[in-house]
Amino acid sequence: MDLIDVLIVEDDARIAQIHSQILRQTQHFNPVGIAETIQMARTMVKVYKPNLIILDNYLPDGTGIDLFREIIADKSAHKIEVVLITASDEIETVKTAMKLGCFDYLLKPVSYERLQETLNRYLALNNAMKAYENLEQRHIDELFNIQLRDKHQQLLPKGIESITLEKIKRVFSQNIGVKYTVDQISQEIGIGKTTARRYLEYCSANGLLTAENQYGKVGRPERVYVKLS
C-alpha cells in the first residue's frame, strides 16, 4: 500500500513533534514536513503535494481556515484533505470548516486517541475509495458511513475515548457470557485499573454490559461484567 503523505502545520514545535510521532507510529502515514507559518505551508504544499494536512488554525501570519480556502480555490492542485485543529470557543470556525468540506476538526488540547481515530477513519475511507471501481448503492452507503462518525461516538462523555471503548466492546463481543473483573480487563486491554473501571461502569450504565456482584467464600464481593448476548 502506498504511503499517505501528511503535512503538519503547527507553530508549537513540541506539539508538531507529537503529531509527527503519532503519524510515524501509525502504519501507512508519512509525515513529510512541519510548517510553522502559513507562508511555509504554502511552499510545502507545492513541493510535497501532501494527501492530508493536519492544520492548526492560529498561526503567526494568518489562520489555518484561510489557508484551507486557498487550497480549495486552487483548481490546479490535487485533492488535499484537511484536519483542522481549533480552540473550543471557535464555533464559527468549525461551521466554516464543515461547509468547506473539512475531513475532521479536533479541539485543543488534542488527545492521542482522538487523533488516532481520525487517522484510522481517513485510512479506511481512502482504502474503500480505491477498492470500488463500479459503485453500487451499498458501496456509497459504506463510504458515507466511514466519513460520517457514528452518532454514539460523537456523544461520548469526557474521559471516554472511542478507540479504548471499542477495544473493550470487542473483548466482550468475542467472549459472550464470560465474566470479567476490572483487573482482567486492565491486563487484557493494557490500561490502568481506574481507567478500566470507568469504561466498564460506562458500558454497564448504557446497557452495553451487565454488572453484578460475585460473592466468594470469604472477603468482599467482587464486581464482574459480562455481555449476555
- Please determine, for residue 151, whether its predicted confidence score (pLDDT) is greater than 50: no
The answer to whether 200 and 148 have CB atoms below 8 angstroms apart is no
Question: Going along 10-144, which residue ranges are E strands?
Answer: 29-35, 52-56, 58-59, 62-63, 81-86, 104-107
Q: How far apart are CA 25 and CA 170, in angstroms?
A: 22
What's the average model confidence in pLDDT over 109-137?
Answer: 75
DSSP character string of 84-107:
EEE-TT-HHHHHHHHHHT-SEEEE
The pTM for the full model equals 0.61
Q: How far apart are CA 29 and CA 20, in angstroms?
A: 10
Longest dimension (CA), the chain: 74
List the domains of the chain with CATH numbers: 4-149 (3.40.50.2300), 162-226 (1.10.10.10)
pLDDT at residue 79, rounded to an integer: 87
Q: How far apart are CA 166 and CA 172, in angstroms?
A: 10
pLDDT, tens digit (0-9, with 9 covering 90-100), for 81-93:
999 998 767 788 8
Q: Which residue type does 19 have?
A: H
Q: How far apart are CA 49 and CA 153, in angstroms?
A: 32
What's the average model confidence in pLDDT over 188-209?
Answer: 90
pLDDT band at 46 (very low <50, low <70, confident <90, very high): very high
What mean pLDDT is reported for the chain?
85
pLDDT at residue 193, rounded to an integer: 92
Which sign, positive or negative, has the C-alpha torsion 179, 183, 189, 192? Answer: positive
pLDDT, tens digit (0-9, with 9 covering 90-100), for 63-110:
999 999 999 998 877 889 999 998 767 788 888 988 999 999 888 888
